[in-house]
Structure 1
Amino acid sequence: MKIDAVGLFVNDMERMVAFYRDVVGLKTNWNGDADAAFEAGGCRLIMYGRRDFENMTAQTYGYPKGRNGTMEIAFALPSYGAVDAEYERLVSLGAEAVFPPATMPWGQRTGYVADPEGNLLEIGSFGG
């Protein structure tokens, strides 16, 4: 098997689509439906409204509130400098600053921001 997509179940589709399209810069052709798909390199990022998903599956789910340490979406950049620039760009456009870029002992430069619903985004590079 190969991972085709990573999905987020969201409260506010319009706000989250706008963030990932306009701030992060992922391409989508979302037209207001209950789900959205974004091109993210070799994988897709998909979103589905929480209420719509619960209605579809006839289930009720528990969701984290606030900043969410359940998972992360990791973005790879070509260089350490690109990590610093992208972190600053995302924060200046409204992403929540979580952890400023730092070079880790294993050689990766990484920083974290959060999207409007608290999901963590890692911005990292192994290239100096």
Structure 2
Amino acid sequence: MPANFTIVTLGVADLDRSARFYRDLGWEQRGDQAEGITWFRTSGSWVGLYGYDALAEDAATEPVPADELPTYRGVTLALNLASEAAVDLAFARVQEVGGTIVKPAARTDWGGYSGYFADPDGHLWEIAHNPYWTVVDGRVDIGAT
């Protein structure tokens, strides 16, 4: 199977609220939200917002009540930026538009700069700068292994 990650879909309690949050971050929205899903273009993949219960139904699973979900759900999404200053600006914007700062950005033991925020539905996002990676047009090149 090719490693061609194209979409992450987030289950959300209120599609209008969540779409407004990502628009307010400055993300480019595509598609007709009236169809029950909305899309945001990123540098190489898409973020979809879909009703929380509808997404569970689509996956043939039983949803945990949203108010019982833990802060940490075993997954985070990451935005890697070109500098520490860009990370700080991104966190300022997240806070301005109503995101929850879970862990403020700080220098890390691996030499980078990183922090975490939660969107209105509690999905965790890391915003980081890794000085060992190159970021070009929003895409990361981590080099050869």
Residue of structure 2 in register with 1:118 after alignment: 122
Preserved CA contact (<8 Å) 1:67 1:117:
no
Instruction: Give the match for residue 102 of structure 1.
Output: 106
Equivalent position amino acid for 2:15 in 1? M
The CA distance in 2 between the partners of 1:114 and 1:57, in whole Å, is 23
Provide the aligned C-alpha RMSD in A: 2.1
| In structure 2, C-alpha distance between the alignment counterparts of 1:80 and 1:74, rounded to whole Å | 15
2:11 — aligned with what? 9
With the length of structure 2 as denominator, give the TM-score of the two structures.
Answer: 0.76
Higher RCO (CA 8 Å, separation ≥ 6 residues) = 1
Question: Which structure is higher in strand share?
Answer: 1
- Report SS of the residue matched to 1:8: strand
Q: Tell me the percent identity.
A: 29
Contact 1:100–1:111 at 8 Å: present in 2 too?
yes
Q: 1:82 to 1:28 in 2, by over 3 A?
A: same
Residue in structure 2 matched with residue 127 of structure 1 by the alignment: 131
Q: TM-score, normalised by structure 1?
A: 0.85
Amino acid at match of 1:111: G
Q: Which runs of 5+ in 2 are unaligned?
A: 133-145
- Deviation track 1:24-52 (CA, whole Å, cap 9, x = no partner) reads 22111243221111101101111211233
| 1:127 to 1:116, Cα distance in 2 relative to 1, 3 A | same
* Distance change in 2, residues 1:68/1:32 (3 Å): farther
**Distance in 1 (alpha carbons) for counterparts of 2:56 and 2:87:** 37
